[in-house]
Every structure is written in C-alpha cells, then in structure tokens.
C-alpha cells in the first residue's frame, strides 16, 4: 500500500543510486493508483504540490487541469514521471544550432520538435538531465502524476530554461509563471464546471 513518507524516503535513497532505481520506485507506486489517491486524496484542484523538497531530491504531486498545457522547459537534473490518473502527452524538443529558430521569429537559439509520448495510469517516463519537453493534459478530467527530481526543483543549482510557445525562443525558467499557468487552468476548469460545460 502506498505511503507518502515511505515513498519520499525511498525516492531520496534511489536518487543517490541513479535514475533506474528512481524509475523502479515510481513504477511500483503508480501501479497502485487507488493507494496513492487514498493517501494523497482525490485530485480536485490543479497545482504543484510538493511532498518533499531538498538539495538532494524533490518529490511532487502534479495535478493537471483538463486540457491544460505547459510550455517547453528543461530540468537540468534527472526526472522520473509516473501517471496515476488521467493522461499526459509529452512533446520532446531538441535545441537548434546557435542562430537557429524553428518558428522563424526573432533570434535563436530555438528548438524544434523531436518526438512525443502519451502516458496513462501506471506508466512512467524517465527524462535525462538534458531533456526538453512540454506537457499537455489532453482529456477533460484531471491528470495526476508523481514527479521525482534529482535535486532541488524549486531552486536548481544550474539555471533552467523555458521556451516561448509561439516563438520557441529560450528564456530563463520562471516558477512563478508555471504556478500562474496552473492557476489559470484551474480557473478555466472551474468556470467550465459552473457553466455546465
């Protein structure tokens, strides 16, 4: 049965052992979605809900509002994502050479699409430290996932980046912007519920 405190301690230990060990812990956890929901509660609000944050690791319960997207970004640390309810679509991106810009707008460097993956409950993605991805919840219900990072997600030792959705140009990563995206998605979701949509 999933237990939050044990999961966090197992993840912290596994981060020291490497990404494969983290993947095994997360895969076992998301194999019991009912246990996670019993321990963490039914996902009813979109947001970034830290279970643990430290220099050694960060463990987050992400809840994505229906039909929300998050712009391309990197982590500069290992990441393992396990879905326990809903669906998550990942678009993977690669950097273009200096001066390149896939959108054709403004100066580079930019990025271009390099692949995609769609995950449902019980599935896990491992993202190396250099991976750039954007995330979408393509369905009309909440999507929930456990994320484990190999360092401090909120105060990373190496600066992170995000890329503008339209121009695909690189910018400094902004956690306040990320939180705002979740708040806006939650507001749209609640407005839809109120309107009976």
Q: What is the pLDDT of residue 168?
A: 92
> Is-contact 96 104, C-beta < 8 A?
no
**109 pLDDT tier (thresholds 50, 70, 90):** low
pLDDT tens sequence across 7-36:
999 999 999 999 999 999 999 999 999 999
Task: Say whether pLDDT at 99 is over 70.
Answer: no
List domains and CATH numbers for the chain. 4-194 (2.60.120.10)
* Dihedral over Cα of 179, 26, 93, 74: its sign: positive
pLDDT tens sequence across 120-150:
999 999 999 999 999 999 999 999 999 999 9
H or E segment and range at residue 16: helix 4-17
């Amino acid at each position: 049965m999933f237990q939050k405190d044990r999961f966090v301690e197992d993840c912290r230990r596994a981060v020291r052992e490497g990404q494969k060990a983290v993947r095994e812990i997360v895969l076992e956890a998301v194999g019991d979605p009912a246990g996670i929901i019993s321990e963490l509660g039914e996902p009813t609000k979109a947001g970034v809900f830290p279970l643990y944050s430290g220099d050694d690791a960060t463990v987050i319960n992400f809840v994505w509002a229906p039909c929300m997207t998050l712009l391309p970004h990197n982590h500069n640390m290992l990441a393992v994502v396990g879905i326990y309810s809903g669906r998550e679509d990942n678009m993977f991106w690669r950097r273009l050479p200096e001066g390149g810009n896939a959108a054709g707008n403004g100066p580079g460097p930019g990025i271009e699409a390099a692949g995609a993956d769609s995950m449902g409950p019980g599935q896990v993605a491992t993202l190396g430290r250099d991976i750039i991805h954007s995330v979408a919840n393509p369905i009309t219900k909440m999507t929930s996932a456990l994320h484990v990072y190999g360092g401090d997600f909120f105060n990373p030792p190496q600066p992170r980046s995000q890329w503008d959705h339209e121009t695909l140009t690189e910018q400094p990563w902004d956690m306040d912007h990320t939180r705002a995206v979740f708040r806006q998605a939650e507001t749209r979701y609640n407005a839809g519920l109120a309107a009976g949509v």
